Amino acid sequence: SAVGRGPEVPFSSEAYRISAASRGKELRLTLAPLGPGPPQDLVFRFGMSGSFRLFVDARRFGSWRLGDAWQPGRGPCVLSEYQAFRENVLKNLDDKAFDKPICEALLNQKFFNGIGNYLRAEILYRLKIPPFEKARTVLEALKDQEQARRKKNPSLTLSKKLKLMRENPDLLELCHTVPMEVITAEKLFVDPDHSDNYAAFKNWLQCYLVPGMSSLRDRSGRTVWFQGEPGPMAPKGQTPRKKRAQLKADPEALTPKVTRRASKRHTRAAAKPLKSAEEEEVTDGPRKGRARGRRKATAAPALSEPEGLVKAKRSRRTSARRGRGEA
C-alpha cells in the first residue's frame, strides 16, 4: 500500500480463502491457499477512523503485522470473552490503573479491550456514573453487589442470569451489551453503501456528541462526554462545555436587508480613507448633524485654533463632494 505503514505481505496464490477473527480492537485475517503452500496470518489494529472495505485508513492511524499473535498486553475481549474479561477486571482492582477516574480506566485495553471513546460515554451515561469518579470506587461497589447476588441466588440458571443482566445491568455488563447493540445493527450503522448509516448511528447515540451534554478533556487529552456533575477527580482549571444544538441555516437571516440610506452610508464610508485619531477628534467636533460630546480620542494632541478650523473646513468640503455622487 502506498499509504499504509505495515510490512509487505509475502503471499501469492491464484486462489485462496480469507477467514477472519476479531478480539477487542484487533482483527486477524488468515489467507489460506486452495492449492499447495502455507497459510498467511495478519493481525490488524485499527485507528480512530476508516473502514475495512479496501482498508481505508484516512488518518493513517492503523497498522498490521505478520503472524497470528494478538498484541501483547491486551486483556480478554469484551465481546467474545466476556466472562474472562469480567474476572480479569474484578480480580485486579488493586492495579494502579484503577487509581484513575473511571472514564480513563475504561480506555485501558489491558482491562477493557474493545472499549473506545464513544462507548465509554454511552456506558457511563446509561448508569448515571460521573466520569471522573475513582475507578476503584465504582468497581469495588460492583464487586460487592455481585457477591451479594450470588449469596441470595446461588442456583441461578444461565437464562435467569441473562434476564437479570438485561433488567439491571452493571458497568461491566454494559461493556458487553452496548457494543453488541452496534454490531447487531451494523448493516445500518457501518455499511458504506447505506446512505443513512451515519444518521442512524447518530440517532443511536444518547450521550456522545449529543446536544445538551457536557464535555471535559481527561488527562490524556481525550474529550469525555457526560451529563450532570463530572465527579471528584475532574481536572482542575477546566469548565465543562455544553454541546449546543446546531440550527438550520436561514438564507434570509444570512443576508441582512440593506436600506437605500444605509447603502449610501456604506458606499460613502468605503470611499473615505482611514483617519488617524487626531483627525477624528477635529472633524467630529464642528461637523453639522453630529451629537455633541461624541467619542473623542484621548491621546490626541491639542491643535491651535487656526489650524483646527482649517482642517475642519477642509474635511467638510471633502465630505460634501463625496456626498454629491463622487463615490
Q: Which CATH number belongs to the domain containing residue 204 in this structure?
A: 1.10.8.50
Which comes out higher in pLDDT, residue 298 or 79?
79
DSSP element (H, E) containing 16:
strand 16-23
Same domain, 125 and 213: yes
Asked if the model's pLDDT at residue 309 lies above 80, the reply is: no
- Residue 106 confidence (pLDDT): 98
Which comes out higher in pLDDT, residue 255 or 90?
90
Same domain, 21 and 152: no
Q: To the nearest whole percent, how much of the chain has pLDDT over 90?
A: 44
Report DSSP state, residue 120. H
Q: Where are the alpha helices (DSSP H) in the chain?
A: 82-90, 102-105, 117-127, 135-152, 158-167, 171-184, 186-189, 197-204, 251-254, 260-271, 277-284, 305-321
Window from 41-55, 136-150, 167-181, 235-249 with minimum mean pLDDT: 41-55
Q: Rounded to whole angstroms, how far apart are CA atoms 105 and 129?
A: 13
CA nearest to 112, candidates 198, 174, 185, 163: 174
Which comes out higher in pLDDT, residue 265 or 25?
25
Q: How many domains does the chain have?
A: 2
Highest mean pLDDT among 69-83, 233-247, 272-286 belongs to 69-83
> Mean pLDDT throughout 134-153?
81
Number of H helices, E strands in the chain: 12, 7
Asked if the model's pLDDT at residue 159 lies above 90, the reply is: no
Backbone torsion region of residue 72, taken as left when φ is above 0, otherwise alpha when ψ lies between -120 and 50, otherwise beta:
beta
Same domain, 31 and 129: no
Same domain, 21 and 93: no
Q: Is residue 91 part of a domain?
A: yes
Q: Is residue 120 part of a domain?
A: yes
CA nearest to 122, candidates 106, 144, 101, 140: 106
Same domain, 37 and 169: no
Which comes out higher in pLDDT, residue 109 or 64?
109
Q: What is the 3-state secondary structure (H, E, C) of 26-81?
A: EEEEEEEECCCCCCEEEEEECCCCCECCCCECCCCCCEEEECCCCCCCCCCECCCC
Give the CA count within 13 Å in the CB-facing half-sphere of 251.
Answer: 0
- Residue 270 confidence (pLDDT): 45
Same domain, 166 and 231: yes
pLDDT range class, residue 251, cuts 50, 70, 90: very low
Q: Is residue 219 part of a domain?
A: yes
Window from 28-32, 83-87, 111-115, 293-297 with minimum mean pLDDT: 293-297
Same domain, 118 and 212: yes
Q: Is residue 70 part of a domain?
A: no
Q: Rounded to whole angstroms, how far apart are CA atoms 169 and 229?
A: 22
Q: Is residue 104 part of a domain?
A: yes
Which comes out higher in pLDDT, residue 141 or 290?
141
> Mean pLDDT throughout 219-234?
96
- Residue 54 confidence (pLDDT): 62
> Mean pLDDT throughout 53-61?
75
Average pLDDT of the chain, as a whole number: 77
pTM of the model: 0.58
> Mean pLDDT throughout 185-203?
67
Which comes out higher in pLDDT, residue 9 or 145?
9
Asked if the model's pLDDT at residue 42 lies above 70, the reply is: yes
CA nearest to 86, candidates 72, 70, 75: 75
Which comes out higher in pLDDT, residue 282 or 170?
170
Asked if the model's pLDDT at residue 156 lies above 70, the reply is: no
For cell 498484541, the residue is: 71
- Residue 163 confidence (pLDDT): 65
Residue 226, beta-bridge partner list: 214
The boundaries of the domain holding residue 22 are 16-45
